[in-house]
């Protein structure tokens, strides 16, 4: 099993606004560089996605996979796991934890665990995870803060 990695970032918006962007899977291709297509496969009764199919192209890594999602009632935690192995991944699980700060910002902590189907030296895997997480958090921050300014 793969080790999990964790990174945090502060976003200039409320947890509700951050959660709204995280849960809007249809718009991921607009702001997430590697995501080419998303499709909500199943929804819960409340309309939140329970399973989402992703098609990604990150240059050397292309894949299609389905993630199953669960949400905290107040949306301060969104977690997921890979439904079945894909071409490139044996397993994936992760979460976003959102904590509102007194100044109106939100600390977002992203935890990710991925086990690839192809072998990769630990040093290179950790560097790749760090790059993926850095990009994901920076892109999320930009999207939330840009859409917040437009409102």
Position 119 scores a pLDDT of: 67
pTM for this predicted structure: 0.88
Token code pair at residue 29: 């291709």
Token code pair at residue 112: 């990710």
Position 62 scores a pLDDT of: 86
What structural domains does the chain harbor?
Answer: 5-150 (3.30.530.20)
Position 150 scores a pLDDT of: 42
Position 81 scores a pLDDT of: 97
Predicted confidence pLDDT, tens digits, the chain (151 residues): 456 889 999 999 999 999 999 999 999 999 999 899 999 999 999 999 999 999 998 777 789 999 999 999 999 999 999 999 898 888 999 999 999 999 999 999 999 988 877 665 555 556 666 767 788 999 999 999 998 654 4
Strand partners, 56: 35, 63
């Amino acid at each position: 099993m793969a080790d999990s990695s964790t990174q945090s970032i502060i976003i200039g918006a409320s947890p509700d606004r951050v959660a709204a962007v995280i849960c809007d899977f249809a718009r991921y291709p607009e702001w997430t560089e590697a995501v080419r297509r998303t499709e909500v496969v199943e929804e819960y009764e409340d309309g939140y996605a329970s399973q989402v199919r992703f098609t990604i192209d990150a240059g050397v890594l292309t894949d299609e996979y389905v993630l199953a999602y669960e949400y905290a009632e107040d949306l301060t935690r969104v977690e997921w796991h890979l439904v079945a192995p894909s071409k490139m991944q044996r397993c994936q699980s992760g979460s976003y934890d959102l904590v509102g700060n007194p100044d109106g910002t939100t600390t977002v902590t992203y935890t990710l665990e991925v086990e690839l189907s192809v072998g990769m030296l630990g040093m290179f895997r950790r560097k790749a995870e760090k790059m993926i997480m850095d990009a994901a958090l920076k892109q999320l921050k930009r999207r939330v803060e840009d859409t917040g300014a437009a409102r």
